[in-house]
Amino acid sequence: MSEKKPVVLVTGASGFVGRHLTPALARAGWSVRRAVRSPKGIDDEVVVGSIGPETGWQAALEGADAVVHLAARVHHTREKNADQIYRDVNIAGTLHLARCAVAAGVRQFIFVSTVLVHGRSNDRRAPFSEDDVLTPRGLYGLSKAEAEAGLKTLARDNDMNISVIRPPLIYGAGAKGNFALLERAVKRGLPLPFAQVNNRRAFLSVDNLASFIVHRLPHPDGNFDVFLVADDQQVSTPEFIVRLARAAQTTPRLFRGVNIPKGFAPFNVQALGNFVYVAYAKVDPATGRSVDGRGLGFVTRFTLDGKHWKRIAARGELNAPWGLALVPAGFGSLTGKLLIGNFGDGHIGVYEPNKWHFRDFLRGENGRPVQIERLWALLPGTATTGGTDAIWFSAGIGNETHGLVGTFKAAH
């Protein structure tokens, strides 16, 4: 008679890390039970709905030997009631699951936290350590730090072994967020203004994270343990881009940024005609998000090889500039001019070609400046995509909780 396999419950099993972890656990001899919000048609799934302080875990935890808690709220810091939602999911939801696991007799609980509980960088101080006093930044980092504190308290009074893993940026097939955007830019051959960056960053392959979790589950050391897990090499942002390009069998296109004040970072990179335009926005060091405000922005134009540049717009009417487009032929006197869309206030600036000074805001028939909440990209229309008298736009209305795609047309 074959020995019964130990059972591990994995939350977030259908996410990026979960899709790599669950087969690794199965290969290691675990019977994997997937906790999902809605039915996926996968073997051994248990529908638990949304994770929060009242989630019903009894069926999911029945007979489970271990839990790996991956599910979390992330990348939605601008949504309505974001603070409460992050607390409900990442703090109250985590602690409720852990308490239910204790009641169900679970022996091992692994919580995947984040290196952001230490802050966004060590600012040339000593490397982060598991014993550091935490200095979390942003809703995500703060919520994970508070969840860790709650788990540490829970571990003191119970026999369940709790392991906390604090990964840096996780990369690999199917990754989302900033890694996906960077990977897409590298594969498309877009020039990227990071050649002058001289940093050292920790990264973690999703396969290495999965391997660590698989190894940790049957070998708990103490009642509460914390691990900073990363690949064995720390590399600069340019070197990471070079490695991404090598994996994609392409050549990276890196060039140096120019005379941008500290605190500003590339917000959008776009090829228009024979040039590459880079829009820079001010970044909040606590959240990594753009900062709204008149005068907070720069736009620079580079040649395709990145060797020559010209400042197109600086401060003035810029407000977290993002969208960039050259006006198509059907816009009369505006044809050929550069449009710069501001994420901060939703206005679209019109800039003269070659002279590159601010002319005016794009205005509607009522004479008022066009204003689109949380304006993202701009794209000129063509004969087959709306006409040459159209400009397409995308935006994150509802403080980026919803999307909007539309066009505005030249008045005739």
Q: Which residues form the catalytic set?
A: 140
CB 100 within 8 Å of CB 41: no
CB 321 within 8 Å of CB 297: yes
Q: Which two tokens stand for residue 186?
A: 């590298």
Q: Are strands 309-314 and 298-303 parallel, antiparallel or unpaired?
A: antiparallel
